Structure 1
Amino acid sequence: MSDNHEKSSSTPNKSSLSLQGDCENCFGLCCVALPYAASADFAIDKDAGCPCPNLQSDYRCGIHDSLRQRGFRGCTVYDCFGAGQKVSQITFGGRDWRGAPESAKLMFEVFPIMRQLHELLWYLNEALTLPSASPIHGELAKALGETERLTDLDSGSIMELDIAAHRAKVNDLLLRTSELVRAEAIRSQKGSASRRKTYGRGADLIGAKLKGADLRGANLRGAYLIAADLRGADLRGADLIGADFRDADLRGADLTGSIFLTQPQLNSAKGDASTRLPKSLTRPAHWSSSGK
């Protein structure tokens, strides 16, 4: 469900598959496998396994240039972390669900599991780039290798995975990574920590007025930041894994050095040219180009 539902005739090899959605090499899996309900994000209801009416026979989206204007904002927010092309081209060997309808149901069930695994790969790869987490880089690398191995299983084996147990194991490492990184961020603040507010995991910050807030090294894991005013806030070193940024105002905010932030989170927020982002992420096309 991204803005880029173009498809090419080239099939990538395994090494070229990334952790970002590549709609050109996917069979529109997010547009079929996933359900959605009529809301501010979607103009209509759709059941799981039912193709979106905007999905064309070549797996292109018929309205990808005007998704937001047509009431499908949710499509522009979603990213599969590369699970779509992995399932399409590797797990099912390039056999599409229309050409091989007997595989459709299994493909649609494997896709959300693969998406979870690829999201974990995103976090683990990031954790391994963080100098503060060097004491546990060995454990992180081992978890990365194990997660990669799971993504290479056949479809039947993927369906038998205890994905919740694997997520819990990886999450323990990500928590330890967070503690190391945030501790370093707080130590570097040179006495300003006394002016910082602290928030617990899953904090309710819906609509919070946090303009200019010093949130360096903050624990915002799973925080509800829906429609929060974060203009000019300093989020360097903050743990943002799972934080809900829907309609949060990030204009002028500094997110460089924040950890576990993903493209879908940014896509759901509001920002502009003055919002500072980690190098691994891109400025959403719908953000304002002004710094006002």
Structure 2
Amino acid sequence: MPDEIAGLPELRGDCARCFGLCCVALPFARSADFALNKPAGKPCPNLQGDHRCGIHADLRQKGFTGCTVYDCFGAGQKVSQVTFGGQDWRTGPKERARRMSDVFPVVRQLHELLWYLTEALGLPAARPVHPQLRSALEETERLTLQSPEELAALDVAAHRQQVNVLLLRTSELARAGAGGGKGGKGGKKAAGKDRRGADLVGARLRGAQLRGASLRGACLIAADLTGADLRDADMIGADLRDADLSDADLTGAFFLTQPQVNSARGSTGTRLPASVTRPVHWTSGR
């Protein structure tokens, strides 16, 4: 995995240092992903007194697949241990619990941006914009350290938009060598490689040659990507729920997160970038 991400464990969820905030702050509706309805700010009935999930080992079997694909990018422990100084929402006033529920989704978005910016700094091809990326990373980290009141009032969408300009440029630079970026090999954009925001629900893409493609925000729900070449592809925001990545090659794919991989299907033959790990359910069937 890139040294930058490997050296930042704070961008990976650590439930042992969190007060179960994702199980409290976030809402979910009864569906194929969740077995019941839960409003924002109300603890999940499966959350135990020690902030651990009572059915963690059986979440998929009990209808909580959505929980198994979620990751807070380390926002849970940041809010629990830094923003609120280790103060538990269970033992404090109701106002604290409400404020923690308000702040957690904000910090989660900021930590996701930190993940992308950190990964971008690990891409040699993006060296021309490394100074701007470092500045954006430092500013994003500074925002995560604000008071609960400041975080609750933060315009995260505006900050994301600013960062996205840099991430788009990073994508162009990183994909150019594979023929998928702006002005790639031969000075031309590879034909059919711009799938940004494409509706590819259930698409038959078995063996597709998508090296260096932009799949930013593409909807690939239940798409068949068996054996597809996704090397050096930009995967930011791509919806991979139930997509079949069996034997696909994602070597060098960037801006691919663990939640995306967890939501997909794969095999022992699927090749993944080192920044993510192979989900247990790909081989266990659970």
Shared fold (TM-score, shorter chain, > 0.5): yes
Alignment of 1:92-241 (within 5 A): 92-101=84-93, 102-186=95-179, 197-241=192-236
Cα distance, 1:199 vs structure 2: 3.5
User: 64, 69, 77: which is aligned to 2:56?
Assistant: 64
Distance of 2:190 and 2:133 partners within structure 1: 33
Match of residue 275 from structure 1 = 270
TM-score by length of 2: 0.92
Structure 2 gaps of 5+ residues are: 1-6
Distance of 2:180 and 2:265 partners within structure 1: 30
Match of residue 252 from structure 1 = 247
Distance of 2:32 and 2:11 partners within structure 1: 28
Cα distance, 1:288 vs structure 2: 2.4
- The aligned amino acid for 2:132 is E
3-state SS of paired residue (1:233) = coil
- The aligned amino acid for 1:155 is P
Cα distance, 1:18 vs structure 2: 0.9
3-state SS of paired residue (1:253) = coil
| CA 1:134–1:219: 2 relative to 1, 3 Å | same
Distance of 2:9 and 2:91 partners within structure 1: 23
3-state SS of paired residue (1:58) = coil
Structure 1 gaps of 5+ residues are: 1-14
Q: Is the 8 A contact 1:17 1:85 kept in 2?
A: no
- The aligned amino acid for 1:47 is P
Percent identity at matched positions?
A: 67
Distance of 1:209 and 1:187 partners within structure 2: 21
Distance of 2:141 and 2:8 partners within structure 1: 14
Residue 30 of structure 1 pairs with residue 22 of structure 2 = yes
Distance of 2:205 and 2:49 partners within structure 1: 46
Runs (4+) of structure 1 exceeding 6 A deviation are 187-191
Distance of 1:194 and 1:154 partners within structure 2: 45
Q: Paired residues, what number?
A: 275
Cα distance, 1:158 vs structure 2: 1.0
User: 26, 33, 38: which is aligned to 1:41?
Assistant: 33
Point out the more displaced range, 44-53 or 195-204: 195-204
- The aligned amino acid for 1:135 is P
Q: Which has the higher helix share?
A: 2
